[in-house]
A and B are shown apart, each in its own frame.
Chain A
Amino acid sequence: MHDLDAMPARLARFLGQQREDVELIEVIEYEPMAGGYSRSMAKARVRYTSDGVSLEETVVLRGDPPAGHSMIETDRDHEWAVLEALTELGVIPIPSARFYDGTGEHLGTKAIVMDHVSGGSLQSLIEQMTDFGDHPTRLARQWGEIHTITPEQLPAAMVRPDSWDARIDGLIDTWRTYEAASVNSNPTWRYIAAWLEANKPPPLPLRLTHGDCQAPNVMIDHDDNYLVVDWEFAAIGDPREDLGWYNIYSTAAGPNLYESDPEAFLAAYREVTGFGEVEVNQLTVGYFTVLSSIKILGTICSQLDKFALGENSGTMTALQIGSISFGHDNFINAIAGMQAAFDAMAAAQGASS
């Protein structure tokens, strides 16, 4: 995928092996795409010819970055399995995932070939808006639809936590595990882990979680449909993990459609999922804003450690020091706010009893 001169011919050969119904396949344009932070992305214009008739389409390739230049390590096999399952379920709108080079033998790296969505991302749309219209509640419903998918509907290969407590305790431990393994001692992460352990929210049923809910991962087609992309972090977990990650990500790279009216956002979300207000409210979203961040910050931390040890490099990775420190600042303040709310509620309860 990274050899731009060789790729048109390689991709044409690969597509030819997948499409026996077509006589001739030519890749007439191939260019890297900006915007894919964790994976290498490219766009290709492909011409198919059969019986003298030619058709053209654009496809997107999504593969692993060159060795030693990865900001995040994730598994393409896992992502492909999730995409296949979601395609079969047909509940969540996604761009069709067409083909997969699961060895890298054909495309130079493990890579997924999928439909191109020409309409752009929700991020690029809302960045131009002052009034977000119905996008906040549409987005809440979109996340909610993902969270209606139960573990039983998902591929057997996906890890199934033993219980809600096991999932949450595992995530809390993840903060400590990454910190202990890091070249940097990090008292903020240790404090976060201790606070999360002492303040667990009421449980919800485990569901499919996207793992990287953010507006750049929602494409909008020409019929104004949302299509959810980038499923590399998909897992079975607490649905609020996605709400929390959406909140912190969108605070770092806004606009934040949750923050614009949290109660309306959560009401729309609860309507789709059937979850109650005791479990899904601003405080529990606050808790998961902190907790769930470790899934991505942890892997960023690992790559920065490799950078420090001379095993990784790249401006994309170096830039992520900012992501970690942005988290520190926000989490310390969020915990202070939540703790104050808990203390006030405890005081009110004490006064009334």
Chain B
Amino acid sequence: MIVRPTTAQLLRDVRNELTHTVAPEVHTATAKVALEQIDIILEQCAVRAASEIAWMIEEIDEIDEYAAAVAEATGDAATTSALEAGRAGRASSLELDDLADGYNLMSEALSCAIEACMRTTEHPALLTRGIEILRTRRAERETVVRANWRLVGRG
């Protein structure tokens, strides 16, 4: 398998071709907007292609550890059950579909763990840690994936 140029490099090359060769030949307003949207989506795909497998694996491990700590501290049945499901559903391969399924299962454990922490005032540090996972692992990475996103063609 030829792995270089990488998928991200190929996608960015397509972007470049669309911008410099195709776009100047496009003259209708609706087609111009569509092309601009395609450019944004291609860049987002390039970012995801480069990192999403690594990010999901990293998050699954971090959530496993966090949810286990919440389950132990609170005895919350929903968190315990979701964590067990997440562990049982851990992907046996790095195929993207398998990993996405495992990631979703473990994400449910994160939801349950944060909800468990919010139902009590006894574990503020665990709640803070859960919110930090949302912020640093989810929101910040999603910001990277958004790349050059904007609501093109409005108004």
Question: Is there an interface contact between A315 and B41, defined as CB atoms closer than 8 Å?
Answer: yes
B90-128 CB mask vs A (1 if < 8 Å, else 0) is 000000000000001101101100110010000000000
| Interface residues in B, total, Cβ within 8 A | 39
Contact B134 A191 (CB under 8 A): yes
Of all chain B residues, the one with the shortest Cβ separation from A191 is B114
Task: Please choose the segment from B2-10, B17-25, B68-76, B136-144 that sits at the chain A interface, where 4 or more of its residues have CB less than 8 A away.
Answer: B136-144
Tell me if A195 is interfacial: C-beta within 8 Å of chain B.
yes
B77 at the interface (CB under 8 A from A): no
Question: CA of A325 to CA of B145 in the docked complex: distance in angstroms?
Answer: 9
Task: Judge whether B37 and A188 touch: CB under 8 Å.
Answer: no
B37, B115, B155: which has the most chain A beta carbons within 10 Å?
A: B155
Q: With A187-B107, A316-B37, A319-B40 in contact, is A329–B143 under 8 Å at CB?
A: yes
Within 8 A of B (CB), among A145-192: 179, 183-188, 190-191
Complex formed: what's the CA distance from A123 to B149 in Å? 18
Binds B, one of A31-39, A78-86, A104-112, A277-285: A31-39
Is A198 engaged at the interface, CB distance under 8 Å to the other chain? yes
Instruction: Label chain A's interface by main secondary structure.
Output: helix
Given A195-B118, A326-B146, is A252 in contact with B110 using a C-beta cutoff of 8 Å? no
Q: Mark A314-338, 1 if CB is under 8 A from B, else 0.
A: 0110110111011011001100100
Q: Are B154 and A322 in contact (CB under 8 A)?
A: no
Closest to B133 in A: A187
CA distance in complex: A113, B80 (Å)? 56
B33 at the interface (CB under 8 A from A): yes
Tell me if A290 counts as interface (CB < 8 A to partner B): no
CB pair A322 B40 closer than 8 Å: yes
Please determine whether B29 and A191 come into contact, CB atoms closer than 8 angstroms.
no
- CB-CB under 8 A from B29, the residues of chain A are 32-34
Given that A185-B111, A191-B131, A318-B41 are contacting pairs, would A329 and B154 also be in contact in the complex, using a CB cutoff of 8 Å?
Answer: no
Q: Most A CB atoms within 10 A — which of B32, B41, B134?
A: B134
Is the CB of B88 closer than 8 A to any CB of chain A?
A: no
Contacts of B118 in A (CB 8 A): 191, 194-195, 198
Contact: B38 with A328, CB < 8 Å?
no
28 CB < 8 A contacts A-B? A37-B153, A127-B155, A185-B108, A185-B111, A187-B114, A188-B134, A188-B138, A191-B111, A191-B130, A191-B131, A191-B134, A194-B114, A194-B115, A195-B118, A216-B155, A253-B154, A318-B41, A319-B151, A319-B152, A322-B40, A325-B139, A325-B145, A326-B146, A328-B134, A329-B139, A329-B143, A333-B135, A333-B139
Q: Which residues of A come within 8 Å of B, CB atoms?
A: 32-35, 37, 121-124, 127, 179, 183-188, 190-191, 194-195, 198, 214-216, 252-253, 315-316, 318-319, 321-323, 325-326, 328-329, 332-333, 336
